[in-house]
Amino acid sequence: MNVNFRIFLFASAAAMTVPAAAQAQSTPAEEDNQEIVVTGTAGGSELRKVEASFAITTLDEDAVVKFNPQSTADLMKAVPGVWSESSGGVSGANINLRGFPGTGDAPFVTMQLEGVPIFTPPTLSFLENSTLFRIDETIERVEALRGGPNPVLSNGQPGLTTNFLLKEGGEDTRGSVRASTSTYDLLRVDGVLSGKLADDLYYMVGGYVQSSEGQRQAGFSSEKGYQFTVNLTKRLENGKINLYFRRTDDHGTWYLPVPLRVPGIDSSFVQVSPANRKTVVEGPYGQPLSADYGDGRGFDGFLAGGSLELDLGGDWSLSERMNFLKGDADTYGLSPRGGPRTIGQLGLASANTLITNRVLGPDAFVQHIGFQAVKKDIDSFTNDLSITKGFKGGSITLGYFVSHFGSKDLWNLNNNARYFELSGAREQVVINCATVTNAPAPCLNGTRLDATGDGKMNAVYAVADYEILPKLRLDLGARWVDHALDYTANTASNPVTGLTGVPNIVNNYNEQGISWTVGANYSFTDDFGAFVRINDGFRLPYFDDLRGGQVQLAAGDDLFFDVRQYEAGLKYQSRGVGVYLTAFRVETQATRSTAPVVDAPFSRFETEAQGLELDANVRLWGGLSIVASGTYLDGKISADADPNLVGNQAPRQPKLQFRIAPSYDFSIGDIEGSIYGAVSHVGKRQSNIQNTQPLPSYEKVDLGVELRMKNGLNFRVAGDNIFDAQGLTEGDPNSFDINTNGRYILPRTVRFTVGYEF
C-alpha cells in the first residue's frame, strides 16, 4: 500500500505543476450549497442535499466520466458503504451494502430510472438489477441513497436505492458524438441529441453501439450490443409530463472464478474461448438446448415509462410515476467444479483434446467445468401515485405503490460437466470423468429447472415532515405492504430416471408487513447540519426463496428478512467543500444456505454491524480538487444455529475500504483540460460465513486525462488498474474449503475516446 500511496502523491504533485495561470473557474459561493436531490423524498420532491436527514451520494455527468466505470455495478464503488464485486463483466455483479449480509447478486440494491424501480425484485437467481441497466451519455446524474427512508418509499427495499436521472431537452439544440477504442479492441460509438420540438415540448435521444473482446482475453468479440433512449418532456402551466423509452440489447461473457495456483493464469484468464463457446446441453426434460457461452449475461428488452407532476393549487400537488419492462435476461457460463488437476493427478498418463486431437502429457493442467445455461424471460409493471398537502411548517404525503412482475425460467446447471485444458485454446479434453481418481463430483448430473413465477406487490405509505422548532425538522413515514407470489417449479436431477420432473410447487404465498422510519435534521447554519434516523424494514421474499430450502423453516416463520438501522450524520457544504460523515448500526435477522449448492436447506442467523462512512468533495486551490469516500465496518455473526459461527466476520464485506481521487482542471490557450486519478484500497474480507475463504486486501490505481477544444473537439484517455493489481473479489461459491478458485478484479485496460460537442 505504501508504494501506491507514493504513486498517488506523485500524481497529485504532477498535477500541480501545470501552470498556475491555467485555472478553472470556481463555483460561486452562494450557489455552492444548493445541490438538489429528489431520491428519498415523497413524490420525488426537491430537497437541498445538505438538509437531507439521510445519507445520499450524488454523481453528475463529469463525476461519472472521471470515474470511468467499466459497468453499471462498477460505478457503485463511488458510493461509500457499498461493496461492489464488479469483476464478473458487464453483467453478473455481486453488490452488498454496509452491514447487510449477502452471498451473491444484489439482494439489497434497487435500481431506479426516473424514480421508479426498473424491476421490482432486487435479485432473482442469476439476475440482479445492474444486469438490466447500462450507463451511457443519456444519463444526467445519479443519486444513491443508503438506508434512510428506503423501507417506506419505492419498493420498500431497505438497503441501497440508486436513481438514474435522464437528460431533458431545452430551448437550444445540443448534442455530442464520441468514438472509443481500447487496449481490448473496443469499438464503440456514443451519441446524444436534445432540443425543442414545439412550444414547451422538448426531446432527448441518444445511445450507443459497441463490441469488444472484453477485458479478459476471450479471443473473440465477447462483449457486444447497443442501447437507444428517447425522452420527451412537456411543460405545463402547473407541472410537467415526461415519457421515455429505452431499448437495450447488450451482453458480455460472464467471468467466473478461475484457478489461483496454476502457472500462467492471472486476471486476464477466462474459461470461454472460440474452441468451447458453442455447445448443446440437455434441457430440463432431455431436449437439446443450444447455447453460445460467449453470450454470457445481459439483457435484451425494453423499458418504457413516464411521470406526471401537477400543482393542484391550495398547497396540493400530485405525482404519478410508472414504467413497464419486458425482455430476456439469459445467463451462460462455464463454472469450475473443484480445483485444477494435472492429467497425472487424475491417474492418466495422457489425454487428447477433442477438436485438434493434441496429446496432453501428465503435467498438463485441466479442470472439471460445469455448463450453466439459464433462460429467463422477465416482465414488470410498476406504478407509484402520491398526493401531497403542504401547510405552514411542513407537509404530508399519501401514496399507493403497485407492481406486477414475473419470470419464466428454463435452467440447465452443470449437466454433463467436462474437462478442459487451462492453457492455449482451452479445448475440451477427452476424459471419461467416471474413471478418473482424485477428482471431486465426477460426471455431475446437475440441476434442471422449468419454472414460472408471478408476483404482485401492493403498498400504501404515508410520509410527513414538520419544523417542530426553528432549524429542527422532524420527518416520519410508514408503509404497509401486501406481498403475493404464485410460483410453480419442476426439477429433474437425472435425465434417465427423472425426465418427468419432480414437482415442487408453492402457490398463493401471501404475507403482509409494516415498515417505518423516523428522522430529524437540525440546521446549525445554511451550510452545516446534523441528522439522526432510525428505520425498521425487511427484504421481501421472491421466487427463489420459495423454490428450495427456505420452505423447510419452522412452521410459523415468515420469509421476511428483518432489518433495523440506526444512523447519525454531520453535513457541511459551502465554498468548494462538501463533507458528509455518517455513523450507522445495522441489525438483521436472515436466512442462509447450509451448503454451497442450489436449493440446500436454510437456517436462521443474525448479524450486527456498525461503522462510519465518509463522502467528501473538496476544492483546494486553483483547479485542484479531491473526491474521497471511505467506509469502516465492523460486522459480526451475532446468532446462528451453529455456535461455531457466532463471532465470525460477516461475509463479502471488507472492514475498511476507501477511494481518494484527485483531479486538476486547467486551461492553456484555447484548450481546457483535466488530469485525474484515483487510488482505491479494499481491506481483507471473508468470502463465506464460515470464514474459511479469507481474501487478502489490495490496492488499485486509475489515471486519466481529458482535453476540450473551443471548437467542440475533445479527447479522453482513461486507464483502469494501471499497475495491473491482482486482487480477488470472491473465492469459490461452490465450496466451503480454502480457496482453490477465485475471481480476480479486472486487469489493466486503457480506453481512448475522441468526441465532438455542439
pLDDT in tens, 87-112: 999 998 999 999 888 767 899 999 99
Backbone angles phi, psi at 170, to 5 degrees: -135, -165
562 alpha carbon, distance to own chain's centre: 22
Residue 546 is predicted with a pLDDT of: 80
Residue 640 is predicted with a pLDDT of: 87
In the chain, what are the domains? 2-447+460-509+517-757 (2.40.170.20)
Q: To 5 degrees, how large is the angle CA 599–CA 603–CA 608?
A: 125
Burial 679-701 (b: 16+ CB within 10 A, else e): bbbbbebbbbbbbebebebbbbb
Q: Is the distance from CB of 41 to CB of 145 less than 8 angstroms?
A: no
Residue 19 is predicted with a pLDDT of: 32
> What is the SS3 assignment for 5?
helix
Rounded to whole angstroms, how far apart are CA atoms 37 and 267? 38
List the chain residues with pLDDT less than 70. Answer: 1-33, 103, 282-286, 415-416, 439-445, 491-507, 548-558, 591-603, 733-739
Sign of CA dihedral 318, 522, 151, 69: positive
Kindly state the cell numbers that stand for 536.
425498521
> What is the SS3 assignment for 755?
strand
Q: Is the distance from CB of 265 to CB of 422 less than 8 angstroms?
A: yes
Sign of CA dihedral 455, 329, 728, 142: negative
Q: Is the distance from CB of 514 to CB of 507 less than 8 angstroms?
A: no
**What's the per-residue H, E or C state across 473-489?**
EEEEEEEEEEEEEEEEE
Kindly state the cell numbers that stand for 736.
466451503
Q: Is the distance from CB of 359 to CB of 352 less than 8 angstroms?
A: yes
Burial 157-171 (b: 16+ CB within 10 A, else e): bbbbbbbbbbbbbee
- Nearest residue to 57 (alpha-carbon basis) of 716, 451, 631: 631
Burial 730-746 (b: 16+ CB within 10 A, else e): bbbbbbebebbbbbbbb
| Burial zone of 435 (CB within 10 Å; 0-12 exposed, 13-18 middle, 19+ buried) | exposed
Residue 243 is predicted with a pLDDT of: 98
Cα distances (angstroms) measured from residue 67 to each of 63, 80, 538, 587 = 6, 14, 32, 32
Cβ count near 28 (within 10 Å) = 9
pTM over 0.75? The answer is: yes
- Nearest residue to 25 (alpha-carbon basis) of 705, 671, 665, 710: 665
Q: Where does 98-222 show beta strands of DSSP type E?
A: 109-113, 116-117, 123-124, 127-128, 139-146, 160-166, 174-182, 187-198, 201-212
- Nearest residue to 330 (alpha-carbon basis) of 289, 293, 371, 299: 299
Burial 119-143 (b: 16+ CB within 10 A, else e): bbbbbbbbbbbbbbbbbbbbbebbb
